[in-house]
Amino acid sequence: MGMEEKIIKKYEDCFLAYLDILGFKNKVKETKTKPEELETLIEALRINTKFTQSDGKKTTSIGTLEIRSSFFSDSFLFMMKANEENLPHLFLIIRYLQDRLWEHKLCLRGAMVKGKMYWPNIGENIILGPAMIKAYKLESEVAIYPRIIVSEDLYRYIKDKKISAHPVSEDGELKEFIKKDKDGVYFFDILNPNILRKKGETIITINKSWKSFRITWNPSEVSNYENIISAVKKIVKNGKRNQNPVVKQKYSWLSSYLEEVREGEKEDKKW
């Protein structure tokens, strides 16, 4: 009887987003004296179960895309195979997650990269690969502020491939929703007014036999943009009251970014 051929595991090219809830530890400490904050945290963390309870599939207008997600403590990880059509959907997931967390007074900080990862089978809780290390390093050492940074090589990929922004936006290229910050770092321009965000958008399960999720909204609904802007303004106002200079600096960045966005809107109206 011949020996069975052993399948050698290999890394695959993937897009990966590593995200962290800013100030999570302090928020947990607050729950000791502010019971209402505990409910806020629980509701916020429940948002991610919508992704992690799926069987690793996202249903879209172009078919079903495979995604792997993981959630541990205050950190989120999303991974998709490095196909051009996948990338805008990864940006959409991040935008949706950050909007919902902003509504719960929480900010994300993170990094998006393209690199080698082990692609786990559904239900296989293994996160392994150089891209994870790269994303973690960028998030913990470079991102600093409540922003989702985009690695330089990923930005070049987006630019060179002229990747469409849909479904992040109704038209345009994805590169139009990435900004270069004052420190030379690229980041997801998540408050860009041209991003599609509708009131009442939600995540739904599509198929009961193999659970997949879809971020869905009613096209006739009005934009949720101003509500998100109001939520961010409240976060900035509260953050600036913090006596810790390091924490204050983070919210000062968010305040400056918000001001730039609003000034940009005024310039667009002039035209």
The low-confidence residues of the chain, meaning pLDDT below 70, are: 1-8, 48-64, 205-213, 267-271
pLDDT for 1 equals 42
Q: What angle do CA 224, 227, 231 make, to 5 degrees?
A: 135
pLDDT for 112 equals 98
Cβ neighbours of residue 134 under 8 Å, at least 6 residues apart? Answer: 111, 113, 115, 151
CB 80 within 8 A of CB 67: yes
How much is the pTM?
A: 0.88
Tell me: the pLDDT tens digits for 218-263?
888 899 999 999 999 999 998 888 888 988 999 999 999 999 998 8
pLDDT for 267 equals 66
264 CB-side CA count, 13 A: 12
pLDDT for 2 equals 47
If we measure between CA atoms, which residue out of 201, 206, 228 comes closest to residue 216? 201
Report the C-alpha gap between 254 and 262 in whole angstroms: 12
CB 78 within 8 A of CB 94: yes
pLDDT for 215 equals 80
Q: Cis bond leading into 130, ω under 30°?
A: no
Cβ neighbours of residue 141 under 8 Å, at least 6 residues apart? Answer: none
pLDDT for 116 equals 96
Residue 154 main-chain phi, psi, to 5 deg: -70, -40
